[in-house]
Structure 1
Amino acid sequence: MPNDELMPIGAFARRSGLTSSALRFYADSGLLPPAEVDPVTGYRYYSADQVARATALRRLRELAMPLAAVEAVLGAGADEASRLLDEHVAEVVGNAAAVRRKAEVIKAAFRDAPGLPLAVLKGPVLADAVEQVLTAAAHEPGVPALTGLRIEADHEAVTLTATDRYRLSTRTLVPIEPPSRPWAGTVHGDELRSAVAASRRSPLVRLEAFPDGIWFRVAGHEDRHCRLLPEEYPDHRLLLASLGEVTTRLTVAKDPLLRALEELPGERVGLHVAAHGVSVMAAADEEHAGLTLPGTVVGPELRIVFELTTLYPAVSTAIGPDLLIDLRGHDRPVAIRSADRGDLTTLAMPVEPGRSA
């Protein structure tokens, strides 16, 4: 290759974003040998064709990927490279979580005051409740409190609540051992999902509260810690208290309603609750009757419209084969709960036809 098509190491460093010392290291390791080395001066020269490999190498090393893994990724096809990257990310995330847990153990050892014994709950019940309620949590970076799960404990129950402003889920659990005093806090949602995974196969889980988080203590498993979110949680109790009287109540089988929602075209769904059940239709095509499901209706007929992404998870996470749906008007939140178990309630906010939520 003619020398005028080659770049000295300094110019190539600027093009690739790697330092000259890093380029020498990668050349000696065999990951990125120069295109040519002057036999007299020892100067190293690189070609423009090597910029892409050098840039990929730099980016992989920025992910703290070991050299052997970097070499494997650079030599693999697109699908295999993606798989190797996913494996590396999973390992990094797992290591970070392990470091965080160990740090929490060390921090706990520094505390003089013991934690508050919050409650003893059945492990599988707690795991199910967390999964059900957290489906209503938000993922908007501007409202960090809504990414978490609100836990409120008193001598009668432990209440779990999550909301994304268009949907609110709440479930009450009866503790085997209640707290010595009331407690409330908003727990980091992602850490909570991870923490309760070990609870599913454990008969009992002990929750212990500290100023910075909650410990999940499960016999035979490593204790897990979940941070508390410092941001103020919305006053969801005020919302629940201001719902108003139920005007129409519908009892309908859960599975047929889910299937109707799954098969419905469009992003919005219209419900027409009438004398003997509910008609499910695309909100943009209300002239057609849609699919009519039998049910028991008490109260006047009502037409109401939802975003599918709001209504579907509210229905799918409900407990039991039959749903009890309380309606208060076309512009008021709808409560969805089990027809025979009311400890999980989800509120779904309707939208006005033709307008965004």
Structure 2
Amino acid sequence: MQPSDLMSIGVFAGRSGLTPSALRFYADSELLVPAEVDPVSGYRFYRPDQLPRADMLRQLREIGMPLAAVRAALDAGPAEAARMIDQHVAKVLEDAAAARRQAARLTAALTDAPGIPIATLKGPVLADAVEQVSSATAREPSMPVLDGIHIEAGPHAITLTATDRYRLSTRTLVPDELTAATWSATVDAGDLRAAANEMRRCATVHVEASAHGIRLRVAERDDLHCRLVTEPFPDYRAMLANLPEPTTRVTVAKYALLRALEDSAGEHIALSVTDGVPEFLTGEEQSLGSLDAAATGADVRITFQLTTFYPAISTAIGPDVMLDLRGQDLPVTVRSADRGDLTTLAMPIDPQGAFR
């Protein structure tokens, strides 16, 4: 190779996104050895075909992969390297979740204030409720409240609500033991989902509130702590109160509809009701087939994003779902036909983008 084909360490640093000091470190670690080193000046030179390895090295270090794992990933084939990256990220997430739980315990210990008893519920029931409503959460840095579950406790019931702006899901539970406390706050959904894995194995969970979060007390296990989200939760009750009465109602077998949605192509699903006959259609106007559905009320046609509609159906309780329709630009209420304590609202879309 001619000297003109080689790049100085400064040029290579600029093209690879690595600093010269980092390149020296990786050269001394034998992860990225220069193509040539001037024996007199000690200047290091690199070949253009070393850029892909340098780029991969930089990206692996950016996700926090240790040097030994980076070396193995760089020398592995694509499939094995991908597996190693997935394994590393899973470990990072596991460690972060453990750190968050430990931080919540430390915060609770530092404040050392007695909790306010909120409710006592069956562990599996509370875990199911968390998983059902958390499908309507979303991670959005500008609006952290969307990754929270709003909990409202009163003397007779406890309600869990979540929304990602396109869906709203709310579940009401009757506690095993009633308290006189009235309390409401938004709790981190990730903390609750992690706690749900433990709650599912506990017959009873005692929920207590503190200034920084909620404490879930379970027998013969460490207390579970979930942090609060300080951003105000949307006034969903006012929105629900202002919804007009449904003009059309469709009842459909839940599992048949889910299977049809899974087999459908495209991003959109349309629900058309004509002369009392409901039909589900793909974005290409292909019918999803006979789904054992019935309808009453006015003719209507509503279109949904599949990513909004499918979770709303899948989290419903029981073998059937009931859809309360109000028009093509208003939320559709998805509720269980046999139990009304889980309610989900799903926003339709305009295929031409006039509203969403």
Same fold (TM over 0.5): yes
Which residue pairs with 1:337 in the alignment? 335
Contact 2:118-2:153 within 8 A present in 1 as well: yes
Deviation at 1:170, TM superposition (A): 0.8
Pairing 1:302-313 to 2, within 5 Å after superposition: 302-307=299-304, 308-313=306-311
Which residue pairs with 2:46 in the alignment? 47
Which residue pairs with 1:198 in the alignment? 198
> Which among 313, 332, 355 is matched to residue 315 of structure 1?
313
Deviation at 1:60, TM superposition (A): 2.2
List per-residue Cα deviations over 1:217-240 (Å, max 9, x = no partner). 333444433322222211111122
Which residue pairs with 2:68 in the alignment? 68
Pairing 1:180-259 to 2, within 5 Å after superposition: 180-259=180-259
Which residue pairs with 1:131 in the alignment? 131
Which residue pairs with 2:344 in the alignment? 346
1:329 and 1:11, CA in 2 relative to 1: closer, same or farther beyond 3 A?
closer
Contact 1:160-1:171 within 8 A present in 2 as well: yes
CA distance in 1, matches of 2:250, 2:2: 81
- State the one-letter code of the partner of 1:189: A
Contact 2:271-2:278 within 8 A present in 1 as well: no
- State the one-letter code of the partner of 1:326: D
Deviation at 1:185, TM superposition (A): 1.2
Contact 2:149-2:160 within 8 A present in 1 as well: yes
Deviation at 1:14, TM superposition (A): 4.8
Deviation at 1:355, TM superposition (A): 4.6
Which residue pairs with 1:272 in the alignment? 273
Pairing 1:96-135 to 2, within 5 Å after superposition: 96-135=96-135
Decide which moves more: 301-310 or 20-29: 20-29
Contact 1:214-1:226 within 8 A present in 2 as well: yes
Decide which moves more: 48-57 or 198-207: 48-57
CA distance in 2, matches of 1:265, 1:4: 53
List per-residue Cα deviations over 1:126-170 (Å, max 9, x = no partner). 221112112222444443322321111111111011123332211
Contact 1:250-1:297 within 8 A present in 2 as well: yes
Contact 1:278-1:294 within 8 A present in 2 as well: no
TM-score by length of 2: 0.85
CA distance in 2, matches of 1:246, 1:57: 57
Contact 1:278-1:293 within 8 A present in 2 as well: no
SS at match of 2:199: coil
Deviation at 1:21, TM superposition (A): 4.4
- State the one-letter code of the partner of 2:254: K
List per-residue Cα deviations over 1:247-302 (Å, max 9, x = no partner). 44444322233344445555131231644x533334764xx98745545555x343
List per-residue Cα deviations over 1:37-59 (Å, max 9, x = no partner). 444x4714222233432343233
SS at match of 1:228: strand
SS at match of 1:46: strand
Task: List runs of 5+ in structure 2 lacking aligned partners.
Answer: none
Q: How many residues align?
A: 352
CA distance in 2, matches of 1:232, 1:166: 18
Q: Percent identity?
A: 54
List per-residue Cα deviations over 1:284-322 (Å, max 9, x = no partner). 64xx98745545555x34323131333332222111112
Task: List runs of 5+ in structure 1 lacking aligned partners.
Answer: none
1:295 and 1:76, CA in 2 relative to 1: closer, same or farther beyond 3 A?
closer
CA distance in 2, matches of 1:350, 1:8: 57
Q: Cα RMSD over matched residues?
A: 3.0
1:278 and 1:74, CA in 2 relative to 1: closer, same or farther beyond 3 A?
same
Contact 2:117-2:209 within 8 A present in 1 as well: yes
Contact 1:153-1:179 within 8 A present in 2 as well: no
- State the one-letter code of the partner of 1:43: G
List per-residue Cα deviations over 1:76-128 (Å, max 9, x = no partner). 12221111111111112222222222222222221142222222222211221
- State the one-letter code of the partner of 1:208: E
SS at match of 1:198: helix
Pairing 1:271-290 to 2, within 5 Å after superposition: 271-272=272-273, 274-275=275-276, 278-282=278-282, 285=285
Deviation at 1:343, TM superposition (A): 0.9
Contact 1:278-1:292 within 8 A present in 2 as well: no
Decide which moves more: 310-319 or 246-255: 246-255
Decide which moves more: 55-64 or 99-108: 55-64
CA distance in 1, matches of 2:145, 2:219: 30
SS at match of 2:168: strand
Contact 2:113-2:210 within 8 A present in 1 as well: no
SS at match of 2:27: helix
CA distance in 2, matches of 1:355, 1:24: 53
CA distance in 1, matches of 2:38, 2:264: 69
